[in-house]
Structure 1
């Protein structure tokens, strides 16, 4: 009679290998139960990974578009806020200037001129708004400010209107000065180029601080601000006329400013629509991906229980073998 045995070291190695395999199985089935996804998609799809790869590729592309639409939504929203600020100070200044002009009160005209200068500074600051490292109204030159400092502009206008003795002449000189962006606009002539927000779909803000509607608003505010810079000093009637002209210019500019804001609103709507489509498509593709790699919860639970039972049995056998004596072995 012969016995076929293995050595203690070989047996220990074999038990360790089986233990490691069963632990890995328990871990795999546990992950499948918790995540609801198979741990080996290739095996679950029988080697046909093309549908899963296509879904993953599309999802990555959508994530890129979602990032772009989020950035554009933030940028366009900030531009609308800046235009709203410009509109608010222009409307307020218009009413104040017209009221002061109608009163003919020198003190009120002086006070209104000082307020117009402050409003001009607020408008310039709003149009120089930056989001991160990008200036909103500087066109393609996003790294620098869109407009020169407010005081620099007003100083240049003082020089351009020096010696003029009528409100009409000063208004004409200010309008002519703002007709050329070179004196106040520091951005690029070309607006920010089209930004892709989807397959074959782009959005183009296309608004700079040199836009005629914005330039006219700045000209009206600057005209009122020149009252605070001593324009037509000592000529109360002339200063009242200048205040009236500034107020009327701002009032007439309101429709043009609304038009700029409306165009931006259309761009915002397109970005919002694109973002909604991307979200819906990502959700649908996510569900499709989940369907391809979804784990059967009942099968995963059954496999987990079987693996745990096998592991417990192996532990029991290992424990019994570790207590085996020579007498027990020879029985």
Structure 2
């Protein structure tokens, strides 16, 4: 029976080819050990990528919803903080005004007026609060301030109420200016229409439609602006009328408290929906990742065994190569 022998060069090439193949297999098995997933997806899936593609597409979509949900949660939280501040400032001002109005004396009315002026300025500044470079209360016009400065507002109100000779007339003039489309909405509010609903899940949308032109905000500003006029000297020297202004402003702030609460509750519900959507998205993501692992996962024990076998074969080839490289004619004879 004839035999076929390999020459030295052919033998060297054979060993080199086996070494390359074993190194590639070792690298693949090492990757699979670390990731727990098959390195060769085509072989693992038998060439059918339809299910894997669907899972990956769903995971990508859920990741985008996660990003949108995080942004919406931050935006809603910042918005809630502004509403809380506005309510807190209005809530603290109302009792001061009512007390001053009841007493009707300058020592109480004047400090209440100055406090109201500062509170009004603080509220106007709060309405221009931004989050991540976006104006919170400017609606669709997120790149600009929501309202003009407080001094501009008070100057406009003073101009609109020049004919008022009593506290009641002044209060009516202030209310009318805020309700007039050509008043607050046209000259103070700089934003646009309310934000459109935001998608935070496959079937979940939340609405954060609060703007500085919301009726609850305007109602609060009516009382604060009326009281702020005391700090600017309206009806100077007439304690009776100034006391009546304080009383009317305090009552206005008390009456608008329910609308402020309703607005905060609306944002709170949106926050709850965002949180619930995030929980559903996280659960779905976990389920999809488990399914993905089921498609591409490898047996850890089997992979470790194959890796050890491959490394042993590599070591054997290295030993043979070293031995052959040291052979001489004397050793062969």
Q: TM-score range by the shorter chain?
A: over 0.9
Residue 256 of structure 2: SS of its match in structure 1?
helix
Where do residues 187-202 of structure 1 align in structure 2 (5 Å cutoff)?
187-188=191-192, 190-202=193-205
Question: Which deviates further from its counterpart, 143-152 or 16-25?
Answer: 16-25
Structure 1 distance, partners of 2:249, 2:318, is: 93
Where do residues 1-331 of structure 1 align in structure 2 (5 Å cutoff)?
4-8=5-9, 11-180=11-180, 181-188=185-192, 190-329=193-332, 331=333
Structure 1 distance, partners of 2:56, 2:163, is: 71
Q: Tell me the alpha carbon deviations over residues 102-123 of structure 1, each in whole angstroms, 9 at most, x when there is no partner.
A: 2223122111111111111111
Q: Is the 8 A contact 1:130 1:136 kept in 2?
A: yes
Structure 2 distance, partners of 1:17, 1:153, is: 84
Q: 1:2 to 1:256 in 2, by over 3 A?
A: closer
Structure 2 distance, partners of 1:16, 1:125, is: 75
Residue 276 of structure 1: SS of its match in structure 2?
helix
What is the Cα deviation at residue 13 of structure 1? Answer: 4.2
Structure 2 distance, partners of 1:3, 1:121, is: 100
Q: Tell me the alpha carbon deviations over residues 192-238 of structure 1, each in whole angstroms, 9 at most, x when there is no partner.
A: 11222222432221211111111010111111111011100010111
Q: Is the 8 A contact 2:145 2:191 kept in 1?
A: yes
Q: Tell me the alpha carbon deviations over residues 35-79 of structure 1, each in whole angstroms, 9 at most, x when there is no partner.
A: 221211221222222211111110001111111111111111111
The root-mean-square deviation of aligned C-alpha atoms, in Å, is: 1.7
What is the Cα deviation at residue 34 of structure 1? Answer: 2.2
Residue 173 of structure 2: SS of its match in structure 1?
helix
Q: 1:117 to 1:269 in 2, by over 3 A?
A: same
Equivalent residues, number: 328
Residue 210 of structure 1: SS of its match in structure 2?
coil
Which sections of structure 2, spanning at least 5 residues, go unmatched?
none
Write out the 4+ residue segments of structure 1 that deviate beyond 6 Å after TM superposition. Answer: none
Structure 2 distance, partners of 1:152, 1:58, is: 51
Q: Tell me the alpha carbon deviations over residues 231-287 of structure 1, each in whole angstroms, 9 at most, x when there is no partner.
A: 000101111110111000000000111111112222222211111100110011111
Q: Is the 8 A contact 1:120 1:221 kept in 2?
A: yes
- What TM-score do you get using the length of structure 2 for normalisation? 0.94
Q: Is the 8 A contact 1:29 1:304 kept in 2?
A: yes
Structure 2 distance, partners of 1:195, 1:2, is: 78
Structure 2 distance, partners of 1:50, 1:312, is: 40
What is the Cα deviation at residue 2 of structure 1? Answer: 9.2
Which sections of structure 1, spanning at least 5 residues, go unmatched?
none
Structure 2 distance, partners of 1:4, 1:104, is: 120
Residue 202 of structure 1: SS of its match in structure 2?
strand
- What TM-score do you get using the length of structure 1 for normalisation? 0.94
Q: Is the 8 A contact 1:158 1:229 kept in 2?
A: no
Structure 1 distance, partners of 2:81, 2:30, is: 52
Q: Is the 8 A contact 2:164 2:173 kept in 1?
A: no
Structure 1 distance, partners of 2:77, 2:51, is: 38
Q: Is the 8 A contact 2:114 2:230 kept in 1?
A: yes
